Amino acid sequence: MHHSDFPSQWPIPARRVLTGRWCRLEPLDPALHGGALFEAVSGKQSGGLHRYLADPIPASRAEFDAWLIPRASSPDPMFFAVIDGTSGRAEGRQSLMDIVPQHGTAEIGHILWGPRIARSRVSTEAFFLLADYVMTELGYRRWQWRCNANNTPSRRAAERFGFTFEGIFRNHMIVKGESRDTAWYSITDEEWPTIRACFLAWLDPANFRADGSQLISLRDQER
């Protein structure tokens, strides 16, 4: 696109519900989501879930609320609860962040998908709903993913979701007293239609057995 064809600004994302087939994203609300979300993020797997996140493992509901309440009103990062379509419970959270309407760029971050939805069609659709809102509905140019370079599961997820690896920022941050190298990934507006079609094919009910297991993987859809 020639520079003269760019809008002066892309739309600013709204705090709204995004509904899919297997889950929905709801703007984070302490009253609606606090209890279920605390349960999802503070169980016996909480150490692994928080290993690469900046926020600490909540030792109590009061500690969790001290984290939750200010995040619920933040415009950037803009937090969403991930609601399992089957149970109707909040089983994780994620955010839309580093939103730059002047350049049409944004990022998904602060991802914590609880044990009931991790590595499932619910968490995959949770990613897709936010990406599709930003890239398709708002027409953004760049969808970004960053993670600790040592976070192998996150890097594998980025590759599975169709991101292109861009490189490592060395000594990029200090998180929980540790130096962090950051791996950067992106999807551009030119790439998104093809990736979007793969997500839609993967999320189709025809791609799942009765037990919920996949027939064709997302990576194979992309091939």
CATH (domain of 62): 3.40.630.30
Distance in angstroms (rounded) separating the CA atoms of residues 180 and 150: 8
- CA 47 to chain centroid: 19
Identify whether 140 is part of a domain.
yes
* Bridge pairing between strands 78-84 and 23-27: antiparallel
Identify whether 121 is part of a domain.
yes
Q: Which domain holds residue 124?
A: 14-222
User: What's the confidence (pLDDT) of residue 1?
Assistant: 53
What would the pLDDT profile of 114-138 be if each residue is shown by its tens digit? Answer: 999 998 999 999 999 999 999 999 9
User: What's the confidence (pLDDT) of residue 4?
Assistant: 62
Identify whether 30 is part of a domain.
yes
- Write phi, then psi, for 144 (nearest 5 degrees): -115, 150
Identify whether 9 is part of a domain.
no
Identify whether 19 is part of a domain.
yes
What is the per-residue burial (b if ≥16 Cβ within 10 Å, else e) of 43-73?
Answer: eeebeebbebbeeeebeeeeebeeebeebbe
Residues in the chain where the model's pLDDT stays below 70: 1-4, 223
User: What's the confidence (pLDDT) of residue 3?
Assistant: 55
Identify whether 120 is part of a domain.
yes
The pTM score is 0.95
User: What's the confidence (pLDDT) of residue 221?
Assistant: 86
* 177 half-sphere exposure, CB direction, 13 A CA radius: 1
How many domains does the structure of the chain reveal? 1
Identify whether 5 is part of a domain.
no
Cβ atoms of residues 2 and 96 within 8 Å: no
Distance in angstroms (rounded) separating the CA atoms of residues 116 and 118: 6
User: What's the confidence (pLDDT) of residue 83?
Assistant: 98
What would the pLDDT profile of 181-201 be if each residue is shown by its tens digit? Answer: 999 999 999 999 999 999 999
Position 107: which residue type? E
Identify whether 79 is part of a domain.
yes
Beta-bridge partner residues of 95 = 79, 109
Distance in angstroms (rounded) separating the CA atoms of residues 61 and 216: 40
User: What's the confidence (pLDDT) of residue 153?
Assistant: 94
